[in-house]
Chains A and B, each alone.
Chain A
Amino acid sequence: MGRLLEVKGLTTRFYTQDGVVHAVNGVSFHVDEGETLGIVGESGCGKSVTVLSCMRLIPQPPGKIVAGEVLFNGRDLLKVSEDEIRQVRGNKIAMIFQDPMTSLNPVLTIGRQISEALELHLGMTREQARKRSIELLKMVGIPEAEKRIDDYPHQFSGGMRQRAMIAMALSCNPQLLIADEPTTFLDVTIQAQIIDIVKRLKKELGMTVIWITHDLGIIAGIADRVIVMYAGYLVEEAPVKELYGDPRHPYTIGLLGSVPRLDEERKERLTSIEGLPPDQINMPPGCPFAPRCAYAIERCLEENPSLRTVAPHHKIACWVDLKSGQVSKSAS
């Protein structure tokens, strides 16, 4: 199993009238072939900007990728030409977005939108592309695909539009599928359908997936490994069972404690994380989570911890080791 994507020290900023927004700060992670990486975090933590930066979809200005490497199949996507990255997008790396209504073109039929990628990237003729588009719609479970292919997005329901997006994304057999909060706007029973389709297709096509969400329940069901982001930083990385069974970063612990679970005995009171995320224009020195952290020590307010390994494949950005109660002396 090779390493499909390797992101090193990605840093993205937005230069606005109010100041410089530190959206992504030195984020490093990798995705291996065939696995599903979950990126979890609340709004504003930088999870979307991270993947959009990898795909060079950040408008520059006001955005700017100031540092980092994004190695895909060995090539740094941040350094290749415009033509070369366009050949990657929609072809080798495909994305599905949160709101299918705004990411589908309302004046083109669903069929045209799927065919577009097939004609452009795979050089198919109109007829070949249409045939393949119908196959793709069937694959994602759209009933009466031969008729529905000529419908416009507004004639599809939310769940169907998202399935059409998936069909579009998969049309050129991408190596990597990035799903950015694809089910946030969907009802829970439709969400279950979409997750089911992605899981099934992942198995059938051997796809590698990055799934971004704030929903800890979805991550638990779909991810092999998880990274947790906060204020543009990566704060914890672990295999999924490790993360939920033995979370080590105070933010992750707080987050897991604040989510009510359907299967457990009802807790009397949810643990909530007091306070608010930091202002990413004027970031305080030290760890971005320190002001809200129940375990913060003086060092946390002064020095921003770097990622260190606390268990096999398990890393956290934290000075305090909650398990042993020891404070990290080194910055390894």
Chain B
Amino acid sequence: MARKDDILVEVKNLKKYFPITRGIIFQRHVGDIKAVDGVSFFIRRGETLGLVGESGCGKTTTGRTILQLYRPTAGEVFFEGQNLCEMKGEKLRRMRKKMQMIFQDPYASLNPRMTVGNIIGEPLEVHNIAKGKEKMERVQELLRIVGLNPYFINRYPHEFSGGQRQRIGIARALALNPSFIICDEPISSLDVSIQAQIMNLLEDLQEKFGLTYLFIAHDLAVVRHVSDRVAVMYLGKLVELTDRDTLYREPLHPYTKALLSAVPIPDPFVEEKRERIILVGDVPSPANPPSGCRFHTRCPLVMDICKEEEPEFRDVGGEHWVACHRV
């Protein structure tokens, strides 16, 4: 159970813009894709914060920017109280031992020309933690921890299934004994029955090693299962953040409500009685987000002020943050 004041990661007004250029010889900066546009939240030691939203909302970019895989355009990221954005070179590299990532595509995130042993062992070598026999022993231990046969150490990624490759990715993330792992859609490319295996594994590992997770996903039912608190993103901004049970039982933001109502429930008796909130239209482009509240173009409860003024992301009580003029 996470202590109330033990904050491991804190993100303050994080922004990541990707420039849009035009012209072949002389590239003019004509605009920006505002992928992450002012996001603030914290994660306590030992908890799992779910970050949910549809494609293009900026959740993956948020994860990568926190780890400084992209350098932020603005804002700050504090890890154990230290500002990662001000670090570079060796100092930042040493911090990387404590924060790792598990990627979405188990086919693209493993080097096909490296053996499993080398993939998992590479971090140990790079950070001078173990070499040779000691490294191999540690790798075998990690394979066992993620439920793979240590005998596989000399096999290549193509010899494994998607779920097994994802386990290899998890073993690699654990190699340096991190305290914080960002799971970026770790199960969405896996079959349903394998998803459950990996979810159970991630939960077991969290308990065993006292890990803190940022769990990024678009599947709301999955996020609910693994998270303690959940944040909802839309077009580069957070619209709601609260503890898991409150979000799913009493969501406040119209987008959260629509999102929840859109998720199919594997029960025909429930489905036939459900009232769906069907949103009209498509998600606007992050290169040209709507004025005021970004959700106003699709919001069933839109008012005049929503088109002009951006609502503040504020705590409305009990650590329940919402950005909506209606609340």
**Interface of A toward B, CB cutoff 8 Å:** 42-43, 143, 157, 159-160, 187-193, 195-196, 214-221, 223, 240-241, 244-245, 254-256, 258-263, 266-267, 269-274, 276
**Hey, which chain A residues are within 8 Å of B220, CB to CB?**
188, 262
> Does B197 lie within 8 Å of A271, measured CB to CB?
no
> Does B221 lie within 8 Å of A261, measured CB to CB?
yes
A57 to B260, CA, bound (A): 37
In the assembled complex, how far is the CB of residue B301 from the closest CB belonging to chain A, in whole angstroms?
16
Nearest to B189 among chain A residues (CB) is A43
- Does B315 sit at the interface, judged by CB under 8 A? no
Given A157-B282, A189-B262, A220-B264, answer yes or no on A260-B225 (Cβ-Cβ < 8 Å): yes
- Does B267 sit at the interface, judged by CB under 8 A? yes
Nearest to B225 among chain A residues (CB) is A260
**Hey, which chain A residues are within 8 Å of B164, CB to CB?**
276
> Does A272 lie within 8 Å of B263, measured CB to CB?
no
Which one of A42, A191, A263 lies within 8 Å of B270 (CB-CB)?
A263
For A254, A256, A272, A274, which residue has the most chain B Cβ atoms within 10 angstroms? A272
> Does B224 lie within 8 Å of A262, measured CB to CB?
yes
Which one of B161, B244, B259 lies within 8 Å of A188 (CB-CB)?
B259
Write the B155-175 contact mask toward A (1 if CB under 8 angstroms, else 0). 000000101100000000000
In the assembled complex, how far is the CB of residue B90 from the closest CB belonging to chain A, in whole angstroms?
41
Given A260-B224, A266-B225, answer yes or no on A189-B266 (Cβ-Cβ < 8 Å): no
Given A196-B276, A258-B196, answer yes or no on A187-B265 (Cβ-Cβ < 8 Å): no
A304 to B55, CA, bound (A): 43
Which one of A220, A254, A270, A271 lies within 8 Å of B225 (CB-CB)?
A270
Given A220-B271, A270-B225, answer yes or no on A187-B54 (Cβ-Cβ < 8 Å): yes
The 9 closest A-B pairs by CB, nearest first: A217-B264, A258-B196, A272-B196, A187-B54, A192-B262, A216-B266, A221-B271, A42-B191, A260-B225
- Does B222 sit at the interface, judged by CB under 8 A? yes
**Hey, which chain A residues are within 8 Å of B92, CB to CB?**
none
Chain B residues 240-280 with CB under 8 Å of chain A are: 244, 248, 258-272, 274, 276, 278-279
Given A262-B221, A272-B196, A274-B197, answer yes or no on A196-B268 (Cβ-Cβ < 8 Å): no
> Does B271 lie within 8 Å of A258, measured CB to CB?
no
Nearest to A216 among chain B residues (CB) is B266
- Does B1 sit at the interface, judged by CB under 8 A? no
**Hey, which chain A residues are within 8 Å of B193, CB to CB?**
42, 254-255, 258, 272-273
**Hey, which chain B residues are within 8 Å of A254, CB to CB?**
193
**Hey, which chain A residues are within 8 Å of B109, CB to CB?**
none
> Does B224 lie within 8 Å of A271, measured CB to CB?
no
> Does B264 lie within 8 Å of A190, measured CB to CB?
no
Q: For chains A and B in complex, what number of residue pairs have CB atoms within 8 angstroms? A: 130
Given A189-B279, A196-B276, A216-B192, answer yes or no on A262-B163 (Cβ-Cβ < 8 Å): no
In the assembled complex, how far is the CB of residue B162 from the closest CB belonging to chain A, in whole angstroms?
9
In the assembled complex, how far is the CB of residue B139 from the closest CB belonging to chain A, in whole angstroms?
22
In the assembled complex, how far is the CB of residue A143 from the closest CB belonging to chain B, in whole angstroms?
8
> Does A256 lie within 8 Å of B266, measured CB to CB?
yes
In the assembled complex, how far is the CB of residue B169 from the closest CB belonging to chain A, in whole angstroms?
17
- Does B195 sit at the interface, judged by CB under 8 A? yes
Write the B181-206 contact mask toward A (1 if CB under 8 angstroms, else 0). 00000000001111111011001000
Given A255-B193, A258-B195, answer yes or no on A196-B278 (Cβ-Cβ < 8 Å): yes
A221 to B265, CA, bound (A): 8
Chain B contact surface mostly: helix
- Does B218 sit at the interface, judged by CB under 8 A? yes
**Interface of B toward A, CB cutoff 8 Å:** 54-55, 161, 163-164, 191-197, 199-200, 203, 218, 220-222, 224-225, 244, 248, 258-272, 274, 276, 278-279, 281-283
20 contacts between A and B (CB under 8 A): A157-B282, A189-B262, A191-B262, A193-B279, A217-B266, A218-B264, A220-B267, A220-B268, A221-B271, A241-B269, A244-B266, A256-B266, A258-B196, A262-B221, A262-B248, A262-B260, A263-B270, A266-B224, A269-B200, A269-B203
**Hey, which chain A residues are within 8 Å of B261, CB to CB?**
192
**Hey, which chain B residues are within 8 Å of A274, CB to CB?**
197
**Hey, which chain B residues are within 8 Å of A215, CB to CB?**
264
A192 to B264, CA, bound (A): 8
A260 to B220, CA, bound (A): 9
> Does B200 lie within 8 Å of A272, measured CB to CB?
yes
**Hey, which chain B residues are within 8 Å of A267, CB to CB?**
225
For A214, A263, A269, which residue has the most chain B Cβ atoms within 10 angstroms? A263
> Does A189 lie within 8 Å of B197, measured CB to CB?
no
**Hey, which chain B residues are within 8 Å of A241, CB to CB?**
268-269
For A157, A244, A260, A269, which residue has the most chain B Cβ atoms within 10 angstroms? A260
**Hey, which chain B residues are within 8 Å of A216, CB to CB?**
192, 266
A192 to B281, CA, bound (A): 12
**Hey, which chain B residues are within 8 Å of A143, CB to CB?**
281
> Does A188 lie within 8 Å of B192, measured CB to CB?
no
A191 to B222, CA, bound (A): 17
For B244, B248, B264, which residue has the most chain A Cβ atoms within 10 angstroms? B264
A223 to B268, CA, bound (A): 9
> Does A261 lie within 8 Å of B267, measured CB to CB?
yes
In the assembled complex, how far is the CB of residue A89 from the closest CB belonging to chain B, in whole angstroms?
29
**Hey, which chain A residues are within 8 Å of B260, CB to CB?**
262
> Does B269 lie within 8 Å of A271, measured CB to CB?
no
Which one of A188, A192, A214, A266 lies within 8 Å of B191 (CB-CB)?
A214
> Does A261 lie within 8 Å of B266, measured CB to CB?
yes
For B163, B218, B224, B271, which residue has the most chain A Cβ atoms within 10 angstroms? B271
